[in-house]
Amino acid sequence: MLNESQILERIRAVVTEITDVNPMAIVPTANIREDLHADSLASAEIVMALEDVFKVEFSEEKVRSLLTVEDLIEAIAAELGKTKRSVA
């Protein structure tokens, strides 16, 4: 199973591709909309891409609660823990 640092690196890759933001700006405390300048469409793209990368699925309620990079890390780690899948 991936640790939080490995999850963050994959999040950085996805967010950078979608938003063109500097990867070093993608820190756990960063707000997805305010700090990373992701509008609602970009935010949706980020979540869908992360679901594909990590082979997880978030409920609509969960997606609405994903405000920071830390929220993404925690949600992904929780889903990976639930499924007990190994992500390569």
Catalytic positions, written as ranges: 39
Which tokens in the block code for residue 67?
Answer: 């405000």
Write out the DSSP string of 13-65.
Answer: HHHHHHH---GGG--TT-BTTTTT---HHHHHHHHHHHHHHHT----HHHHHT
Q: Can you tell me whether residue 73 is helix, strand or coil? A: helix
Output the six-digit token pair for 47. Answer: 């979540």
